[in-house]
Amino acid sequence: METEKARGTETVLVLGGTGKTGRRVAQRLEARGMPVRVGSRSGEPPFDWENPDTWAPALGDVGAVYISYYPYLGVPGAVETVGSFADLAVASGVRRLVLLAGRGEPEEEPAVDAVRESGTELTIVRSTWFAQNFSEDYWAEGILNGELALPAGEVPEPFVDADDVADVAVAALTDDRHIGELYELTGPRLLTFAEAIDEIAKAAGREVRFVPVSIGEFASAAAEQGAPGEVISLLRRLFGEVLDGRNAHLTDGVRRALGREPKDFADYAREAAATGVWASKR
């Protein structure tokens, strides 16, 4: 059942709308002919989590918001920031929120609760690592150089395609049946990082090695490359704590939300390779 809002003229604000999931959410809503506003520091008007003065202008005429917070909901201050934003959104007339969170991350719970407490229609999308980290973010550079060094051992992850995350978010923004749901999203297959890199090497038709390193080596290399302290501590936590096997199982979130299976990593790798993203360097 489509909502009045989905058919009407109210704008959907897509926070993180230039990022891996937000960009896809915005594209899908635009393809349906819905008014969309990209909320990010490069948006028009700009939206900056660190500058609350930018929030009200971005919320004008907005009926629903996709919240992809940056850097992640577990950082100090996130509870107050996303909680204040959600309260302001509701006071401004927003009736529906769709919140992206990480999977198996108790540190994020207080921020999720703060959004819940805004009292409006809410869908929570708890996602495992995106496959697109290998092509649109953190790890693409290593693959281009033929070697990805990460502090990941044999623990497998069920990488999920950002297309699936966006499909679920769009369904939740536009269809009343998802109100109050919590969808835990994974891909259909568990893969170690070495296996994921093998799939990518095969799809890209080039040699790529996965090199396991210690957390300390990884953090020093990231610092040398200029990564901010906040990002380094996030990566330390993700690899040192969250990648401990707690997420090494599949969930049915994509099927429950969309009535279809999630996209396989091999399909992701083939599609990403076809864009040429892993085609130069070396």
Ligand X SMILES: NC(=O)c1ccc[n+]([C@@H]2O[C@H](COP(=O)([O-])OP(=O)(O)OC[C@H]3O[C@@H](n4cnc5c(N)ncnc54)[C@H](OP(=O)(O)O)[C@@H]3O)[C@@H](O)[C@H]2O)c1
Task: Give the count of alpha carbons within 13 A of 243, CB side only.
Answer: 23
One character per residue 64-103, x = contact with ligand X (rule: CB under 6 A): ----xxx-xx--------------------------x-x-
Can you say how many angstroms the Cα of residue 205 is from the centroid of all Cα atoms in its chain? 27
Find the shortest distance in angstroms from Cβ 249 to ligand X. Answer: 16
Buried-state track 137-167, b at ≥16 Cβ within 10 A, e below 16: ebbbebbbeeebbbbbeebbbbbbbbbbbbb
- Six-digit token pair at 145? 């150089």
- Which residues ranging from 163 to 222 are in contact with ligand X (CB under 6 A)? none
Single residue of 5, 11, 49, 121 touching ligand X by CB under 6 A: 49
- Which residues ranging from 216 to 255 are in contact with ligand X (CB under 6 A)? none
48 sits in the region (left: phi over 0; alpha: psi -120 to 50; else beta) called: beta
By beta-carbon distance, which residue lies closest to ligand X?
Answer: 19
Other CB atoms within 10 A of residue 38 CB: 21
Candidates 14-22, 192-200, 255-263, 268-276 — which segment interacts with ligand X by CB under 6 A?
Answer: 14-22
Candidates 11-19, 88-96, 167-175, 190-198 — which segment interacts with ligand X by CB under 6 A?
Answer: 11-19
Single residue of 55, 66, 85, 129 touching ligand X by CB under 6 A: 129
- Name which of 206 and 233 has its Cβ closer to ligand X: 233
- Six-digit token pair at 243? 């990648």
Single residue of 92, 133, 192, 233 touching ligand X by CB under 6 A: 133
- Name which of 3 and 127 has its Cβ closer to ligand X: 127
Q: Across-strand partners of 101?
A: 126
Residue 130 in the binding site for ligand X (CB under 6 A): yes
Find the shortest distance in angstroms from Cβ 4 to ligand X. Answer: 28
Find the shortest distance in angstroms from Cβ 193 to ligand X. Answer: 13
Distance CA 199, CA 266 (A): 6
- Which residues ranging from 15 to 44 are in contact with ligand X (CB under 6 A)? 16-22, 40-42
Distance CA 96, CA 85 (A): 13
Residue 50 in the binding site for ligand X (CB under 6 A): yes
Residue 148 in the binding site for ligand X (CB under 6 A): no
211 phi and psi, to 5 degrees? -120, 110
- Name which of 19 and 63 has its Cβ closer to ligand X: 19
- Name which of 49 and 268 has its Cβ closer to ligand X: 49
- Name which of 48 and 175 has its Cβ closer to ligand X: 48
Distance CA 217, CA 224 (A): 11
Find the shortest distance in angstroms from Cβ 165 to ligand X. Answer: 8
Distance CA 192, CA 112 (A): 29
Candidates 249, 83, 237; CA nearest to 155 is: 249
Size of the site for ligand X (CB under 6 A): 26
Distance CA 282, CA 208 (A): 11
Site of interaction with ligand X (CB under 6 A): 16-22, 40-42, 47-50, 68-70, 72-73, 100, 102, 127, 129-130, 133, 137
